[in-house]
Amino acid sequence: MKVLLTGGAGYIGSHTCLELLVAGHEVVVIDNFSNSNPIVFDRIESICGRRPTVYQDDVCNSDGVSEVLLAHQIQAVIHFAGLKALGESAEQPLRYYNNNVQGSLSLLSAMKTAKVRILAFSSSATVYGSPNIIPINEDAPTSATNPYGRSKIMVEEILRDLTVADDSLHIALLRYFNPVGAHESGLIGEDPTGIPNNLMPLISQVASGRREVLQIYGDDYPTVDGTGIRDYIHVMDLARGHVAALDWLQERKGVHAFNLGTGQGKSVLEVIQSYETTTGQAVPYQIVGRRLGDVAACYADSSLAERELGWKAQLSVDEMCRDEWNWQNNNPNGYRK
C-alpha cells in the first residue's frame, strides 16, 4: 500500500516506517522535525536499503497535507504527529490541544478532500486514566488526568463520530503502553529533546554516566516491590503491530481500539535489574517521593490484538534493555553529532 506517516521521523514513527518499507509498502512522511531529526532516514536506508519520500511540513497545514495525499495517491495514513509529555501538557494546554486536536482535525479534513479512508491513530494507554481493573481491556472506561491524555480521548471521540456519519471509513485506535528499546542495529532509537520524561531513557542516561543517579518515584505502592508497574513493549513489536493493523484495516470498516502491549507488568526495580544484568552497566538509584499523576500499576490485556490482528509482542524486557543500551552506547548524543 501507499502509506502516509505524519510524524514519521519520530521514535515510534521511524521504527514503523522501517517495518513498512521492509514489508514492501511505499511510505511517505510528513514531519516538522520539531522533536525529531531527518538523519533518521539515512539510518533507515542503511538498514533496509529503502527510504520514504519526506516532506518537512506541519500536519496543521491541511492544504499541504491534501496535496501530498493526492500527489502520492495515498491509500492509508498512520497519524503519529503530536506532543506527548504529560507534565508539559498541564503547563501548556493550548499548545497541546492545538497540536494534538487541531492537528488531527486538519489531517482529517485533508483526508476527506483526498478521499483517503484508512487511518491508524497513535493513541495511548493514558486514555485509561487510573484503571480500576488490570490488566486493562479495550472496553475499560476512558478518563484523563492531564491535557495530553484528554487530547487523545478527544481525538478518539472525534474519530468515532466520523465513522457514525461516514460508514466508508476504516479506523484503528492503537493504544500504546510503554514503548522502549530500539532497532537491534543501534542505528535508530529514541532521541528525546531536553530532559527525558520516561523511565528507560533516564536509565540509559544513568548507565552511560550522563546522569549520576536514577530517582525512583516512590517505593510504597501496593506492588511486588513497592515500585510502579508498567507494560513495557519493545518498539519493534509496536512497529509490527502497526503493520498488522494496517493490513487488517483494509477490509474492516468502522472504528476499532486495540491495546498494543505485552500483557506483562514489570516494576521499576525489575526493569533496573534487567538492565544491569543484560548490559553489565550499573544503574545507581535513590528512592524519592511519588510523582503526581502516577498510578501503581498499568498493563494491558492485549488478547484482542492477538485474536483480531494476529499480532503478539515477542521481545522480552531483557531484549528491550539490550537494544536500548546498544542505541544509547552507539549514539550518546542521539542523532546529533
Site residues for ligand WQD per CB under 6 A: 84, 86, 124-126, 176, 178, 197-199, 202, 214-217, 228, 230, 268, 291, 294
Nearest distance from C-beta of residue 4 to ligand WQD, angstroms: 21
For ligand WQD, the closer CB: 6 or 61: 6
Residues 6+ apart with CB under 8 A from 198: 178, 180, 192
Catalytic residues: 148
190-212 burial, b for 16+ CB within 10 Å, e for fewer? bbeeeebebbbbbbbbbbeeebe
Name the residue whose CB lies closest to ligand WQD.
228
Q: Which helix (H) or strand (E) holds 237?
A: helix 235-249
Cell numbers at 184, concatenated: 537491534
Nearest distance from C-beta of residue 269 to ligand WQD, angstroms: 9
For ligand WQD, the closer CB: 284 or 310: 284
Nearest distance from C-beta of residue 178 to ligand WQD, angstroms: 5
Residues 6+ apart with CB under 8 A from 63: 110
For ligand WQD, the closer CB: 62 or 126: 126
Rounded (5°) CA angle 293-296-297: 115
Given the DSSP bridges, would you call strands 266-267 and 229-230 parallel, antiparallel or unpaired? antiparallel
Nearest distance from C-beta of residue 26 to ligand WQD, angstroms: 28
For ligand WQD, the closer CB: 78 or 199: 199
Q: Return d(Cα 65, Cα 113) in angstroms, integer.
A: 10
Query: In residues, how long is the chain?
Result: 337
Residues 6+ apart with CB under 8 A from 179: 11, 12, 232, 233, 234, 235, 238
For ligand WQD, the closer CB: 164 or 292: 292
